[in-house]
Chains A and B, each alone.
Chain A
Amino acid sequence: MVQSVGTNAPRLDCHDKLTGRTKYLDDLDIPHCWFGGVVYSSIPYGRIIKINFDPSFDWGSVVTCTFKDIPGKNNTVFLTQDQPILAEEYVKHVGEAIVLVAAPTKEILSQARSHIHIEYAASVPVLTIEQAKDKATLISGKDNILAQYCINKGDLDVGFKEAAVVIEGEYQTGFHEHAYIETQAMAAVPRTDGGLTVMGSLQCPYYVLKTLVSVLNCGADRVNVRQLPMGGSFGGKEDYPSLLGSYVALLAKKSGRPVKLIYSREDDIIMSTKRHPSIVKHKTGVKKDGTLTAMEINVEFNGGAYATMSPVVLSRGVIHAAGPYRCDHVRSTAVCYATHNVPCGAFRGFGVPQTIFAIEAHMDKIAEALGINPLKLRAKNCLKLGDTTQTKQLLRESVGAAQCLDTVAKGCSFEKKWQAYRRQNQAARGKKNIQKGIGLALYMHGGAFTGSGESVMKTEAGLMLQKDGVVRVLTGCTEMGQGAHTVLPQIVADTLGIPLKCVYCEVPDTDLVPDSGPTVASRTTMIVGWLLTQCAASFKERLFEFIARTYRVEKTALKLVRASFVSGSKRITDFKTAANDYLSKVGELKVIERYKLPPYIQWDPATHIGDAYPAYSWAADVAEVSVDMDTFEVTVDKMTIAVELGRAINPVLVKGQMEGGTLQALGWALMEDMQIINGHPQNKNLQTYIIPTARDIPDWRVHIIEEPFSYGPMGAKGIGELPLDGGAPAIVNAIYNATGLRITEIPVTPEKLLRQCAKL
């Protein structure tokens, strides 16, 4: 049988993307459309005294909105509802929206924006975690805490008693910018029935809908949200479009016209969310042979002014804080603090890159303290089938950590090189211009929402039969470049037994598709793909009943193979004919089903104990670097990655995800230095916020390992976020191997290396 799963089927959207036909929001010619813009806070914290509309400007030529124009509630609707759509009395961060403007041309818009002046009574802002802890100024609640968790496994005292050595370390990471190539972009278009279509570059149509219904104070039938092709997202368009969608909706309502709002790169960097800066402290007890006996972990995130996704980002971060290691006695505490910085939100990895950076840099420190090589230490402690994680989750199947470790290590002769570089570099210190090093990281990422989240979400998806045997996939899952709208049809095509070309995903529009949950959390392939296999089974069953009836054959003997219905060796009819017959004789064939979690999942959100995720994907990275000892420039020469993901639905897309995500990690580790000073982002364009170019890439080697997961489609698990988790520690560990300089705060800029070198 012709299968699509497991092949490098070309993306279904690539032809249009390669010819310029794909219409992103800015490419749409919307008749009579006005241009929207935002006037935002220029101070990190203070009271708005007055909004001055300069009388020299003709205000009759434009439309403006303040919070007073909001018919419903003035806040986004997420886990917490603390973030206003438009500031009222106070502003809490630079870039917080105060006034919206829509104008018939971009020129008039720009003039209007520059004629609005905000008078503030500025206050002293709270900018760091330390200042937030001080509680002298309260931003959120009584303690400036946006979220906190504590996970306890075993007894730390017992664990530390068993230890021969206790090793401590502190690790820090900074703000991280998504830097999608297409900036935030949304439009609102009035419908003929008086309702509103809100569309644009967004990951989660139903999130935006939820906020719009509350902001506009209207029924869900008065507004529909449609996702358009997206020029990248990486989490950056998970929560932010709920704000931008509200802006365009308010402007369109007030002006009675379509309004398009596309951020300039500078506005995008100033206003949109970032990855949470972090401080992670480890205190670890180990036996002389390297066995981990106790792990005490403290995680602190800087959340910025509003909660956005912080409670769940922190939760996911702390669940992964002990890394892919077996240890009986673990206590992880985690707090996310509010500060007067731009809110931090979702960013590929969702808190995990920070905690994995810490544990993986720390493992190398432990290895050195014990005189064991980093590979052996990891191999000794890595989680295996039948082990439990720090949340006491029993690993029942599909645990590829050891295999990943073994594959990368063998793939690049890790031990041999690590020993050789260490010897050479110790001998040559200061005398060689270029010193080479090799570093390792082992990591995992839980797929899907945490705990029982997938049940709470009531995830739905479906299939609908079209004429001539075309099958339409009904899902709110969005295509943002990751390949979802190719991978999901591949899964459906194979489950049904029809060619891939007969399956396509409907445009994710809340009027057309059910709520499949947000396109986040590495959940689309594993959760929605699994649900679609269930839908396909029911869909096929309905067709079999029809064929059995029509052709008087035994239903149980029927199969759908290569788009033909067969009974034993006899071909009954083809899928196209059957589809047309079904539609004309029976009518619509539409199957919508709801996701059910694997039955064994037990989770206590209060203690964070239990089955945190249906399954983890596992990976190991080996980075090989050259450090220029004159300039302290670091070049990553080669990156070997092994990933265990259950089943690769489309291997070339998997490799693309692994390479692309790892390059984002490389940027975060070495060059992406988002400086926010006194609440003001300093690098407001791509000239000063440096992301990797083609010149910065290593030689990529990606190994795919498949250990099928019973509740994944064809055994598949998620990999969207995983690749961002491991790159940074592998690189930092390689820099140590090359130079003997242990940098615990990323990005590792040449300046930091120089300072560290001067200390020696």
Chain B
Amino acid sequence: MKVKRKIDLNGKVTTITASPVARLLDVVRGDLKLTGTKEGCGEGECGACSVLLNNEVIDSCLVLFGQLRDGDLLVTVEGLENKRGLNRLQRSFVKNGAVHCGACIPGMLIAATALLKHNKTPSIMEIKEGIAGNLCRCTGYGRIIKAIEEVV
């Protein structure tokens, strides 16, 4: 059985038909071919699969497609660029050397985007808290935090 959802995906109204028990992660990566969103653990521990659902950061490995409602707002890393290319946050990641292997980066950008949507002037502690659900094994986080801090 498949169900249909009409959602706003990265700024475009999109109709998606998929199994209601499929993980949102698999729908995003498989059906929608948006492979920027990564799977790191499949258990909601690492945050690599973070996407924005109605401006909240969620682990897409823990949400089923059937849980989406028509009219939902879904943003993946592919939806972050603007007309001029990389957005301010992404450019700050470049400038601060916040990217190493890159596997955590899509999720990290999504978590940071959610944080900045809800809190325009986060403190360093709030930035740390905001990305604490996103594991990075390469960078030591310092440069990622600085990258976020600089766009505040």
Question: Which residues of chain A have a CB within 8 Å of any CB of chain B?
Answer: 8, 10-11, 13-15, 17-24, 26-27, 29, 178-183, 229-234, 264-265, 480-483, 652-653, 655-656, 658-664, 685-687, 691-695, 697, 700
- Report which of B36, B43, B90, B106 forms a contact with A686, defined as CB distance below 8 A: B43
Instruction: Kindly list 6 other residue pairs between chains A and B, CB separation below 8 angstroms, not including A181-B135, A656-B140.
Output: A231-B102, A264-B42, A691-B137, A693-B133, A693-B135, A694-B132
Residue pair A660, B103 in contact (C-beta under 8 Å): no
Residue pair B140, A663 in contact (C-beta under 8 Å): yes
Question: Which residues of chain B have a CB within 8 Å of any CB of chain A?
Answer: 29, 33-43, 45-46, 48, 76-78, 80-81, 86, 90, 93-97, 99-106, 109, 127-129, 131-145
Inter-chain CA distance A182–B48, complex, in Å, is 9
Residue pair B93, A18 in contact (C-beta under 8 Å): yes
Residue pair A17, B80 in contact (C-beta under 8 Å): no
Residue pair A19, B78 in contact (C-beta under 8 Å): yes
Find the residue from A23, A24, A181, A229 having the highest chain B CB count within 10 A. A181
Residue pair B42, A700 in contact (C-beta under 8 Å): no
Q: Which residues of A contact B142 (CB under 8 A)?
A: 659, 697, 700
Residue pair B36, A482 in contact (C-beta under 8 Å): no
Inter-chain CA distance A182–B129, complex, in Å, is 23
Given contacts A17-B105, A19-B36, A181-B40, contact A693 B138 (CB under 8 A): no
Find the residue from B97, B101, B135, B143 having the highest chain A CB count within 10 A. B101
Residue pair B128, A694 in contact (C-beta under 8 Å): yes
Residue pair A662, B97 in contact (C-beta under 8 Å): no
16 contacts across the A-B interface (CB closer than 8 A): A13-B102, A14-B102, A20-B76, A27-B29, A179-B137, A181-B48, A229-B102, A232-B138, A660-B140, A661-B140, A662-B140, A663-B140, A685-B45, A691-B135, A694-B128, A694-B129
Residue pair B43, A181 in contact (C-beta under 8 Å): no
Q: Which residues of B contact A656 (CB under 8 A)?
A: 97, 100, 138-140, 143
Given contacts A19-B78, A23-B35, A685-B45, contact A483 B106 (CB under 8 A): no
- Report which of B37, B93, B134 forms a contact with A20, defined as CB distance below 8 A: B37
Given contacts A26-B39, A179-B137, A691-B135, contact A18 B94 (CB under 8 A): yes
CB-nearest residue of chain B to A689: B45
Inter-chain CA distance A687–B44, complex, in Å, is 9
Residue pair B137, A181 in contact (C-beta under 8 Å): yes
**Within the complex, what minimum Cβ distance (angstroms) separates B119 from chain A?**
15
Q: Which residues of B contact A17 (CB under 8 A)?
A: 99, 102, 105
- Report which of B39, B81, B100 forms a contact with A660, defined as CB distance below 8 A: B100
CB-nearest residue of chain A to B96: A652
Residue pair B35, A27 in contact (C-beta under 8 Å): yes
**Within the complex, what minimum Cβ distance (angstroms) separates B83 from chain A?**
14
Residue pair B40, A20 in contact (C-beta under 8 Å): no
Inter-chain CA distance A686–B103, complex, in Å, is 16
Q: Which residues of A contact B132 (CB under 8 A)?
A: 693-695
Q: Which residues of A contact B134 (CB under 8 A)?
A: 693-694
Inter-chain CA distance A18–B144, complex, in Å, is 12
Given contacts A15-B86, A18-B94, contact A231 B101 (CB under 8 A): yes
CB-nearest residue of chain B to A702: B142
Q: Which residues of B contact A662 (CB under 8 A)?
A: 140
CB-nearest residue of chain B to A233: B101
**Within the complex, what minimum Cβ distance (angstroms) separates B92 from chain A?**
10
Inter-chain CA distance A382–B99, complex, in Å, is 35
Residue pair A232, B135 in contact (C-beta under 8 Å): no
Residue pair A20, B86 in contact (C-beta under 8 Å): no
Q: Which residues of B contact A11 (CB under 8 A)?
A: 94, 97, 99
- Report which of B34, B103, B141, B145 forms a contact with A24, defined as CB distance below 8 A: B103
CB-nearest residue of chain B to A685: B43
Given contacts A19-B90, A181-B137, A686-B45, contact A10 B95 (CB under 8 A): yes
Inter-chain CA distance A14–B48, complex, in Å, is 17
Given contacts A19-B81, A19-B86, A20-B37, contact A180 B103 (CB under 8 A): yes
Given contacts A179-B137, A694-B144, contact A20 B103 (CB under 8 A): no
Residue pair B140, A181 in contact (C-beta under 8 Å): no
Q: Which residues of A contact B34 (CB under 8 A)?
A: 20
Interface pairs A-B: 7 shortest CB-CB: A20-B36, A481-B101, A231-B103, A659-B140, A17-B102, A27-B35, A652-B97
Q: Which residues of A contact B137 (CB under 8 A)?
A: 178-181, 232, 234, 660, 664, 691
Inter-chain CA distance A8–B42, complex, in Å, is 35
Residue pair A265, B43 in contact (C-beta under 8 Å): yes
Q: Which residues of A contact B106 (CB under 8 A)?
A: 20
CB-nearest residue of chain B to A666: B140
Residue pair B139, A660 in contact (C-beta under 8 Å): yes
Q: Which residues of A contact B77 (CB under 8 A)?
A: 18-20
Inter-chain CA distance A700–B109, complex, in Å, is 21
Q: Which residues of B contact A23 (CB under 8 A)?
A: 35
CB-nearest residue of chain B to A687: B45
Q: Which residues of B contact A27 (CB under 8 A)?
A: 29, 35
- Report which of A8, A13, A18, A686 forms a contact with B46, defined as CB distance below 8 A: A686
**Within the complex, what minimum Cβ distance (angstroms) separates B34 from chain A?**
7
CB-nearest residue of chain A to B39: A26
Find the residue from A234, A481, A483, A685 having the highest chain B CB count within 10 A. A481
Find the residue from B46, B76, B140 having the highest chain A CB count within 10 A. B140
**Within the complex, what minimum Cβ distance (angstroms) separates A372 from chain B?**
32
Q: Which residues of A contact B133 (CB under 8 A)?
A: 693
CB-nearest residue of chain B to A17: B102
Residue pair B139, A659 in contact (C-beta under 8 Å): yes
Inter-chain CA distance A659–B145, complex, in Å, is 13
**Within the complex, what minimum Cβ distance (angstroms) separates B13 from chain A?**
21
Q: Which residues of A contact B81 (CB under 8 A)?
A: 19
Residue pair A695, B80 in contact (C-beta under 8 Å): no
Residue pair B135, A182 in contact (C-beta under 8 Å): no
Given contacts A18-B99, A656-B100, contact A24 B139 (CB under 8 A): no
**Within the complex, what minimum Cβ distance (angstroms) separates B108 from chain A?**
9
Inter-chain CA distance A180–B101, complex, in Å, is 9
CB-nearest residue of chain A to B144: A694
Inter-chain CA distance A686–B37, complex, in Å, is 19
CB-nearest residue of chain A to B35: A27
- Report which of A265, A480, A700 forms a contact with B101, defined as CB distance below 8 A: A480
Given contacts A18-B109, A659-B142, contact A182 B41 (CB under 8 A): no
Inter-chain CA distance A230–B103, complex, in Å, is 8
Q: Which residues of B contact A229 (CB under 8 A)?
A: 102
Q: Which residues of A contact B76 (CB under 8 A)?
A: 20
Given contacts A19-B77, A695-B132, contact A700 B102 (CB under 8 A): no
Residue pair B86, A694 in contact (C-beta under 8 Å): no
Inter-chain CA distance A326–B136, complex, in Å, is 38
CB-nearest residue of chain B to A230: B101
CB-nearest residue of chain A to B78: A20
Inter-chain CA distance A314–B62, complex, in Å, is 42
**Within the complex, what minimum Cβ distance (angstroms) separates A723 from chain B?**
9
**Within the complex, what minimum Cβ distance (angstroms) separates B23 from chain A?**
11
Inter-chain CA distance A481–B138, complex, in Å, is 7
Q: Which residues of B contact A26 (CB under 8 A)?
A: 29, 35, 38-39
Inter-chain CA distance A601–B102, complex, in Å, is 38
Residue pair A20, B35 in contact (C-beta under 8 Å): yes
**Within the complex, what minimum Cβ distance (angstroms) separates A227 from chain B?**
13
Given contacts A687-B45, A695-B132, contact A660 B138 (CB under 8 A): yes
**Within the complex, what minimum Cβ distance (angstroms) separates B98 from chain A?**
8
- Report which of B37, B100, B103, B128 forms a contact with A482, defined as CB distance below 8 A: B100
CB-nearest residue of chain A to B81: A19
CB-nearest residue of chain B to A650: B97
- Report which of B39, B103, B141 forms a contact with A697, defined as CB distance below 8 A: B141
Inter-chain CA distance A557–B26, complex, in Å, is 62
Inter-chain CA distance A20–B105, complex, in Å, is 9
Inter-chain CA distance A687–B29, complex, in Å, is 24
**Within the complex, what minimum Cβ distance (angstroms) separates A392 from chain B?**
36
Q: Which residues of B contact A183 (CB under 8 A)?
A: 40
**Within the complex, what minimum Cβ distance (angstroms) separates A426 from chain B?**
32
Q: Which residues of B contact A19 (CB under 8 A)?
A: 36, 77-78, 80-81, 86, 90
